């Protein structure tokens, strides 16, 4: 990917940056000149650092649990100590607990601790630095799961749905400090988790899962990163409190799907 200086002199924090969508976002920011602090579970730090080993990338890795308020505080404080400020925040790390009638109180607590509560805590902490430097931008990673019913997903879908409401509230309250807050909602994307679910046979499942959206294919993590970096950039300077679906048309489909098995008026 060709590098640029769109985020030169900017400092960003990306949670869940060791793999998947988070890693793609952190790499995109670093390639475009940002200094990036990213988080992951301790066991995944080495994997993430290997991806950032390229020359010219100024990054700092933090291993810990986003459900731990003290860890959140350390990430922001040490990013500021190392790079001097925080201009941009991407809340991406989110606990995937998919339970319904079997969900325990601890399941619900964990789902929101490593999710909505971490998002709000990081925004509270990072926005203080943003105000001190004249403003900034936050992007919260949500999901198509925020908009639809899916089987056995009370916990996850409720958490992602809450991200949308808190994004709008953040945008309202942080706007006077020249801080914009938006969200993105990815659809079916090739990540490590989906690779596992597909038994590493992308050719087979590209067609199966691709039929869930108008583009007839799965999304790529780089495509989510492109949407996020746009919302973080000056090109989006008058955009706030918005959710940007990056789902290949998933949300636009009706019950007819792609129409392969349905006669639609005006077609043959």
Q: How far apart are the first and last CA of the chain?
A: 43
- Does residue 53 sit in helix, strand or coil? coil
Structural contact between residues 184 and 142, judged by C-beta atoms closer than 8 angstroms: yes
Ranges of H-type helices in the chain: 20-31, 45-51, 69-83, 105-112, 118-132, 154-174, 192-197, 202-210, 221-232
Maximum Cα–Cα distance across the chain: 65
Quick check: is 119 catalytic?
no
The residue annotated as part of the active site, out of 119, 156, 205, 250, is 156
> Shortest CA distance to 121 belongs to which of 72, 87, 159?
72
- The catalytic site residues sit at 156
């Amino acid at each position: 990917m060709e590098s640029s200086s769109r985020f030169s002199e900017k400092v960003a924090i990306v949670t869940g940056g060791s793999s998947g969508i988070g890693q793609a976002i952190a790499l995109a920011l670093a390639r475009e000149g940002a200094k990036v602090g990213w988080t992951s579970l301790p066991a995944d730090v080495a994997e993430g650092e290997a991806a950032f080993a390229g020359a010219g990338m100024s990054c700092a890795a933090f291993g810990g649990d986003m459900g731990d308020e003290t860890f959140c505080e350390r990430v922001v404080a040490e990013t500021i100590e190392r790079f001097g400020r925080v201009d941009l925040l991407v809340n991406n790390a989110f606990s995937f607990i998919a339970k319904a009638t079997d969900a325990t109180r601890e399941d619900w607590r964990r789902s929101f601790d490593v999710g909505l509560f971490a998002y709000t805590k990081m925004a509270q902490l990072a926005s203080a630095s943003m105000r001190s430097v004249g403003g900034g931008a936050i992007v919260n990673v949500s999901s198509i799961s925020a908009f639809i019913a899916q089987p056995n997903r009370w916990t996850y879908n409720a958490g992602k749905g809450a991200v949308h409401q808190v994004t709008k509230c953040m945008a309202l309250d942080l706007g006077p400090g020249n801080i914009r807050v938006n969200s993105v909602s990815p659809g079916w994307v090739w990540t490590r988790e989906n690779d596992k679910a597909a038994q590493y046979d992308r050719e087979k499942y590209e067609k199966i899962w691709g039929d869930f959206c108008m583009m007839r294919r799965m999304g790529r993590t780089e495509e989510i990163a492109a949407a996020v970096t746009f919302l973080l950039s000056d090109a989006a300077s008058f955009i706030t409190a918005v959710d940007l679906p990056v789902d290949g048309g998933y949300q636009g489909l009706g019950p007819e799907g792609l129409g392969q098995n349905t006669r639609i008026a005006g077609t043959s």
